[in-house]
Amino acid sequence: MAEVNFHEYDSRVDLDICLAREVGAALEIAIAERGHASLAVSGGRTPVGMFQQLRQMRLQWDKVWITLVDDRWVPPSHTDSNELLVREHLLKYHVEAAHFVSLHTGAASAEAAVAEIEARLQAIPQPFDVLILGMGEDGHTASLFPCASELEIAAAPDSTQSVVAVNPSTAPYARISLTLAAIAQARKLVVHLTGTKKRQIFEQALANTSQRLPIARVLDAARGPKHVYWAE
Ligand SMILES: O=C1O[C@H](COP(=O)(O)O)[C@@H](O)[C@H](O)[C@H]1O
C-alpha cells in the first residue's frame, strides 16, 4: 500500500490556506534551485478556495508554468471547462503573470488534439514541481476513469506519452488527461479531498489490493513524496 502523509484540517478554509502556503513554498524553492517552477492543477469544485488563496501570494509568478492535469473536451468558455475554472479563480491578481498551458486546441476531437498538446507540454519544465490531484467518488483521478476503455493505456506506468484522450462511460464529455506516467514523475504529489465520503473511498481504494482504482495506481507509481490534504 502506498505511504502517504495525511494532513487533516478543522475546516475547508484552513485547508485551503495551508495548502496554498505549501504550494507557494514549494514553487519558491523550485525557483531558487532551478530558476523556474511548474504546477499542474486539477479542475472540479474542490480546488476553488485554494486557488483563491494561492492567487494572493507574492511569488515570482513570471517564472512559473501552470497547466491542468485534465480537462473536459469542451470549449474553454464552457461552464464545465476546467480551463475556465482556472482562468476565473487562479489566473488572477499575482498569478496573472504565470505562463498557462491549455489542454484545449481547435482540433475536431480530443484524440486529434493529443499530438499538439503533447508538443505544448514539452515547453513546461518537468517533472512538475507540484502536481495537485482531485478524486471522484468512483476513484478516478485526473481523467483516469475506471470505466474508460483507454484506462490501461492511460495508466501504463512505463508510457512515454504525457497525455491521452479518454472517453468515460459514466461521466460527461471526452477528456484530455495527463497519463499516470507523467503524473507519477511529479516532485511533490498532493491529493486534495473534502468530505467524509471521499475520505472513505480514498482509504478503501488504497487498502484494496485486488481492485486497484486509478487513485491507488497513481499513488503506487508516484516517485516523490505523497501528501493528502483533507477537511470535512
Ligand atoms: O471531472 C473531474 O473530477 C475530479 C473531481 O472533481 P470534484 O468536483 O469532485 O472536485 C477533478 O479532480 C478533475 O480534475 C475533473 O476533471
Radius of gyration of the chain (CA): 16
Residue 134, helix vs strand vs coil: coil
Give which of 208, 211, 204, 210 is closest to 146, Cα–Cα.
211
d(CA 216, CA 221): 9
Task: Give the residue carrying C-alpha cell 514539452.
Answer: 122
Query: What pLDDT sits at residue 3?
Result: 87
Q: What distance in angstroms lies between residue 137's CA and the mean position of ligand 1's atoms?
A: 9
ipTM for the assembly? 0.99
Atom 6 in ligand 1: residue holding the nearest Cα: 44
The span from the first CA to the last CA of the chain, in angstroms, equals 24
Query: What pLDDT sits at residue 79?
Result: 98
Would you tell me the crossing angle of helices 214-221 and 196-207 to the nearest 10 degrees? 60
Evaluate: CB of 82 within 6 angstroms of ligand 1. Answer: yes
Counting as low any pLDDT under 70, the low residues of the chain are 1
C-alpha cell at 185: 514523475
Residue 122: partners with Cβ closer than 8 Å, 6 or more residues away:
none
The CATH number of domain 5-231, selected from 3.40.50.12780, 2.40.33.10, 3.40.50.1360, 4.10.910.10: 3.40.50.1360
Evaluate: CB of 136 within 6 angstroms of ligand 1. Answer: yes
- Yes or no: say if 179 and 156 are a contact pair by the CB < 8 Å rule: yes
Evaluate: CB of 45 within 6 angstroms of ligand 1. Answer: yes
Percent share of the chain, pLDDT over 90: 98
Each residue of 57-86: pLDDT tens digit?
999 999 999 999 999 999 999 999 999 999
Number of residues in the chain: 232
Atom 1 in ligand 1: residue holding the nearest Cα: 44
Evaluate: CB of 67 within 6 angstroms of ligand 1. Answer: no
